[in-house]
Amino acid sequence: MKTRRIGATDVKVSEVGFGVWTVSTTWWGITDEAVGIELLRRAFDLGITFFDTADTYGRGRGETILAEALGQHRKDITIGTKFGYDFYHHTARSGQEELPHDWRPEYVRVALEESLTRLQTDHIDIYQLHNPRLEALQRDDLFATLEALKSEGKIRAYGPSLGPAIAERQMDEGAYAIERRSVDMVYIIYNLLEQMLGLRLFPLGRQHHASFLVRVPHASGLLDGTVKPETVFAEHDHRFHRVSTDERKRQWQVNGLKKVQQLGFLTERAGRSLGQAAIHFILSEPAVASVLPNIYNEALLQEFVAAAAAPPLSAEAVARIAQLYAADFGLNAAAAADLHAPTASA
């Protein structure tokens, strides 16, 4: 699989990465740890070398499971993890409720050492602020600490993972991180149906040599066939918690599927699935280093790995996508607002 570089660093990531949240939390239906470990190993065998996790996934399990699965291949993989949520001193969250953040330098160093221990490694390749707000990005002491950790060789690259869900404030947060903090990377939600952050931040990234990691490339299932008109989200499904009312859930689903119907040209005579086309679209942006789809079974793993080896979208296809998005796929503005509601919080 091809790799891309993170910013101006020497850190390289596979174009398709593996988000360890699917095998370390209960939101995706994988409850057997042996199944998760085998899926991680299978991903490595198929060419994925970038694995992204967070200290808070499964209260540390997202890191220990990666070490158990691929510890023997540490020199051959790139590891990203996240910090900021203080789950050591606070109870587990309910649904999508956020835990308190702690951005003090002393906490950052403790969190890093805990992650290094769980990952059984002496360095983190990509260390990410987990869903920071602007006030965190404005802390000089936080970024002085990150620079010190970089100089000490304990981290190789850093930047914010913006979230949890898409919000307009993230445009300001991402811009501040890129322009004022010279971060190496930014992690965002971006896909065929939700392009707001990318359209704002990609030009800044290209200008300031910051790369992007992309999650939710399939719009929470709208673009990979897992969300259908009859789909009902269970309470343990992350999408159940993303919208406050049943009516908004229904509108997100209905309007999203209407937009998906207009993307058939991406698969006609192209020999690719819509799920693969969604990945190709994101990789058509030079500032993107890696796409991290939700992988929770062998079939999805095979499909997404195959996407990385397939020809890119044509310039004509990319231009047509831009036209559709600019016109809101022919739907009204209210529908567009609903579309941005349920997204993963990884």
7: left (phi over 0), alpha (psi -120 to 50) or beta: left
* Residue 345: pLDDT band with limits 50, 70, 90: very low
Q: Which residue has the tokens 């896909």?
A: 191
204-232 residue pLDDT tens? 999 999 999 999 999 999 999 888 887 77
Concatenated DSSP letters of 279-301 = HHHHHTSTTEEEEE----SHHHH
Q: What is the model's pLDDT at position 269?
A: 77
CA dist 133 and 22 (Å) reads 25
Q: What is the model's pLDDT at position 239?
A: 56
Given a cut of 90, whether residue 182 has pLDDT beyond it is yes
Q: What is the model's pLDDT at position 74?
A: 99
CA dist 46 and 35 (Å) reads 16
Concatenated DSSP letters of 134-183 = HHHHT-HHHHHHHHHHHHTTSEEEEEEE--SS--THHHHHHHHHHHHH--
CATH code for the structural domain at 3-226+272-314? 3.20.20.100
* Residue 268: pLDDT band with limits 50, 70, 90: confident
CA dist 44 and 316 (Å) reads 33
Given a cut of 60, whether residue 97 has pLDDT beyond it is yes
* Residue 234: pLDDT band with limits 50, 70, 90: low
Q: What is the model's pLDDT at position 96?
A: 60
* Cβ–Cβ under 8 Å, residues 328 and 255: no
Given a cut of 90, whether residue 246 has pLDDT beyond it is no
Peptide bond into 132 cis (omega under 30): no
The share of the chain scoring above pLDDT 90, in percent, equals 78
| pLDDT, averaged across the chain | 91
Kindly report the three-state secondary structure assignment for every residue of 46-69: CCCCEEECCCCHHHHHHHHHHHHH
Given a cut of 70, whether residue 120 has pLDDT beyond it is yes
**Phi and psi torsions of 85, nearest 5°:** -80, 125
* 128 SS3 class: strand
Given a cut of 50, whether residue 318 has pLDDT beyond it is yes
Domain ranges of the chain: 3-226+272-314
Cα dihedral: 131, 164, 293, 269 (round 10): -120
> Cβ atoms within 10 A of the Cβ of 157, count?
25
**pTM for the full predicted model:** 0.92
* Cβ–Cβ under 8 Å, residues 273 and 303: yes
29-38, 52-61, 144-153, 172-181: which range is least confident on average? 29-38
